[in-house]
C-alpha cells in the first residue's frame, strides 16, 4: 500500500475527472492512472466506473471512500504528531486559508491562539474548491474561509461541523481621488477591478450585481484572483473594487479608500471554520474551542 494511492483516489472521487485530479496531484495522467489501478488490484475490486462520463465511483468505491479518508487522516496525524512534537515539543495543526484571510485575518487571530504554548500551525493557502478538497481528503485539520448563505460552501454536514468565527461585509471601494460612485453613468463609465472567473468572490459580486436593481455603467479594466491586488489597485486610483472591510482595514492606507455605493451594492459575509467530526487530535480540539469562543 502506498499512501499516494489513497490521495489519488480521493482526488478523483472529489473531482470526478482523471485529468483534473492528476493536475491537482502534480502528476502525469499515465502515472496517476497506474496508481489508481494499483490500488484497485490491492483491494481486489474496481473503484472507478470508467464506462460513464463524468467519472464516478462504483458502489465499492463509494464504500471505500469514507475508509480512505479516515485512514489517510490517521496516518498524517500520526506522522505530524510524532515528527512535529519530537522536533518542537508542540502540536502542529494544519489550517487551510484563502489568501485574503491569511493576510487580513491570521495575524490578528494568532495573537489569541498563541496563548496556547503547545500550538504550532502549518498554513495551507488555496482557493475554496481546492481547500475543501484537501479537507475532505484529510490533508487539513481545519478550514477557515469566507461564506455567504446565498453562495454556501457545503462540506458534508454529517462529517464536518461548522462554527462562525466573525462577520464582515463585502462592499465596493474606490480611492478618494477617483471619486467613483455606483452605478456610474453612460457618459462616464466606471473603471471596474474585478475578480477572475471561478473565484468565490467573483460569484458573490455577480450576485450583488444581479440583485442591485439597476445596471452598472462600467468597464472591466483588470481581473485578479486576489483581493489584496484589487485593493492596492483601487488605492492607486485605477478603479472600483468589491472588497471585504477587513481587507481594506489591513491595507497600507485604509483611509485612502472609501465606500463607493450604498446598501444595495453590499453583501454581508461570515468567516466560518470547518473540521472533521472524527478528528480527535487534542491540539485541534483546543484550537476549535478557541474558534467557537471567538465567534461567540
List the CATH number of the domain containing 47: 1.10.10.10
Give the mean pLDDT of 159-174.
96
CB of 77 closer than 8 Å to CB of 281: yes
* Whether residue 282 is found in the same domain as residue 261: no
CA 231 to chain centre: 19
Asked if the model's pLDDT at residue 89 lies above 60, the reply is no
* Whether residue 10 is found in the same domain as residue 96: no
For residue 280, give its domain range. 69-166+270-295
Q: Is 25 helix (H, G, I), strand (E, B) or coil?
A: coil
Q: Which residue has the cell 475508509?
A: 67
- Summarised one tens digit per residue, pLDDT across range 122-158 is 899 998 988 998 898 888 999 999 999 888 888 888 8
Sign of CA dihedral 39, 40, 41, 43: positive
Q: Using the 3D structure, point to which of 41, 62, 83 is the last residue of a domain.
A: 62
Asked if the model's pLDDT at residue 87 lies above 70, the reply is no
* Whether residue 227 is found in the same domain as residue 278: no
Asked if the model's pLDDT at residue 83 lies above 70, the reply is no
* Whether residue 46 is found in the same domain as residue 136: no
* Whether residue 283 is found in the same domain as residue 151: yes
* Whether residue 75 is found in the same domain as residue 157: yes
- Summarised one tens digit per residue, pLDDT across range 13-29 is 888 888 888 888 888 88
* Whether residue 251 is found in the same domain as residue 200: yes
Residue 190 belongs to a domain with what CATH number?
A: 3.40.190.10
Q: CA geometry: angle at 210 spanning 218 and 198, to 5°? A: 80
Give the phi and the psi of residue 151 in degrees, each rounded to 5.
-135, 70
Q: Look at the chain and report how many structural domains it folds into.
A: 3
* Whether residue 173 is found in the same domain as residue 156: no
Range among 48-52, 122-126, 265-269 with highest mean pLDDT value: 265-269
Instruction: Give pLDDT, residue 27.
Output: 85
Asked if the model's pLDDT at residue 291 lies above 80, the reply is yes
Instruction: Give pLDDT, residue 90.
Output: 61
More confident residue, 70 or 91: 70
* Whether residue 91 is found in the same domain as residue 137: yes
Alpha-carbon separation of residue 75 from 78, 79, 139, 230 (angstroms): 5, 6, 10, 40
* Whether residue 73 is found in the same domain as residue 131: yes
Instruction: Give pLDDT, residue 14.
Output: 84
* Whether residue 181 is found in the same domain as residue 243: yes
* Whether residue 231 is found in the same domain as residue 94: no
Amino acid at each position: 500500500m502506498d499512501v499516494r494511492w489513497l490521495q489519488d483516489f480521493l482526488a478523483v472521487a472529489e473531482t470526478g475527472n482523471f485529468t483534473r485530479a492528476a493536475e491537482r496531484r502534480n502528476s502525469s495522467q499515465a502515472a496517476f492512472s497506474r496508481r489508481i489501478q494499483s490500488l484497485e488490484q490491492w483491494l481486489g475490486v474496481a473503484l472507478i466506473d470508467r464506462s460513464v462520463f463524468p467519472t464516478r465511483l462504483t458502489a465499492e468505491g463509494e464504500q471505500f471512500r469514507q475508509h480512505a479518508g479516515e485512514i489517510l487522516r490517521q496516518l498524517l496525524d500520526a506522522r505530524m504528531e510524532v515528527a512535529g512534537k519530537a522536533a518542537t515539543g508542540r502540536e502542529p495543526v494544519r489550517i487551510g486559508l484563502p489568501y485574503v484571510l491569511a493576510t487580513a485575518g491570521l495575524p490578528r487571530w494568532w495573537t489569541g491562539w498563541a496563548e496556547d504554548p503547545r500550538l504550532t500551525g502549518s498554513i495551507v493557502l488555496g482557493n475554496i474548491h481546492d481547500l475543501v478538497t484537501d479537507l475532505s481528503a484529510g490533508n487539513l485539520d481545519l478550514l477557515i474561509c469566507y461564506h455567504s448563505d446565498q453562495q454556501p460552501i457545503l462540506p458534508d454536514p454529517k462529517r464536518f461541523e461548522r462554527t462562525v468565527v466573525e462577520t464582515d461585509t463585502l462592499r465596493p471601494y474606490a480611492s478618494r481621488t477617483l471619486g467613483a460612485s455606483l452605478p456610474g453613468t453612460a457618459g462616464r463609465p466606471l473603471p471596474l477591478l474585478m475578480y477572475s472567473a471561478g473565484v468565490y468572490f467573483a460569484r458573490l459580486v455577480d450576485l450583488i450585481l444581479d440583485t442591485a436593481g439597476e445596471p452598472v455603467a462600467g468597464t472591466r479594466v483588470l481581473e485578479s484572483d486576489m483581493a489584496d491586488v484589487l485593493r492596492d489597485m483601487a488605492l492607486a486610483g485605477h478603479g472600483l473594487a468589491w472588497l471585504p472591510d477587513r481587507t481594506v482595514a489591513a491595507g497600507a492606507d485604509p483611509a485612502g479608500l472609501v465606500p463607493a455605493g450604498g446598501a444595495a451594492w453590499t453583501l454581508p459575509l461570515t468567516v466560518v471554520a470547518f473540521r472533521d467530526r472524527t478528528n480527535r487530535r487534542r491540539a485541534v480540539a483546543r484550537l476549535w474551542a478557541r474558534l467557537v469562543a471567538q465567534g461567540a
